[in-house]
Amino acid sequence: MNLILAANLVSVEPGLIFWKSLTFLLLLFLLYKFAWKPILQALKEREESIDTSLRRAERALAEARQIQAENERIRREAEQEAQRILREAREEAERLRQEELQKTRVQIQQMQAQARAEIEREKQGALDELRAVVADLAIQAAEKILRESLDADRQRRLVERFLESLPASKN
């Protein structure tokens, strides 16, 4: 402490206090006159810009939430639409499969009917041919019988011989 007193650093001098106070007041006056209003104005502008930015950020956040909700709704609708389209495609595929199956059945039935008709025609043709052959044979047999006037016993033998001469039919 003696050192501080010896350096005369703590001594009170009224002239120095006056000039320091006057300088301080002059500095306050100059700050108030020239710097205080611009500083307050800058702080006010900064506060307003921060407030504006916060309001914009809140609006942007609200818009983002709204867009997110809208996107979610659109996504759900798209999923539902995709499910509906998929279900309709499956139903259409099943319907087409059933139609093709029915068409195939009808074609098979038509082919079977045609085959039966063809078999029947062939059978009828064979029967007609057989009748013609039998008629020719009967005519030939009658011709032979008529050429020879024979008694019943001879006619029977003649018919038996004729029948023996026919090729044996396979049943």
The two three-digit tokens of residue 102, written as one number: 């029915």
Given a contact cutoff of 8 angstroms between Cβ atoms, the answer to whether 144 and 162 are in contact is yes
For residue 164, the surrounding DSSP H or E stretch is: helix 152-165
Given a contact cutoff of 8 angstroms between Cβ atoms, the answer to whether 143 and 159 are in contact is no
- Residue identified by tokens 């995709």 is 82
The Cα angle at residue 128 between residues 125 and 131, in degrees rounded to 5: 150
CA 56 to mean position of chain CA atoms = 42
Alpha-carbon span 114 to 108, nearest angstrom = 10
Alpha-carbon span 37 to 34, nearest angstrom = 7
Given a contact cutoff of 8 angstroms between Cβ atoms, the answer to whether 159 and 141 are in contact is yes
Q: What is the pLDDT of residues 120-169, one digit of tens each?
A: 999 998 888 887 787 778 778 777 767 666 567 777 777 778 777 777 65
Tallying the residues shown for the chain, one arrives at: 171
Find all residues with CB under 8 Å of 144, minimum gap 6, and list them.
Answer: 158, 162
Given a contact cutoff of 8 angstroms between Cβ atoms, the answer to whether 145 and 158 are in contact is yes
- Residue identified by tokens 């020879």 is 148
pLDDT tens digits in sequence order for the chain, 171 residues long: 555 555 566 677 888 889 999 999 999 888 888 888 888 899 999 999 999 999 999 999 999 999 999 999 999 999 999 999 999 999 999 999 999 999 999 999 999 999 999 999 999 988 888 877 877 787 787 777 676 665 677 777 777 787 777 776 554
Query: pTM, whole model, 2 decimals?
Result: 0.40
Name the average pLDDT for the chain: 85
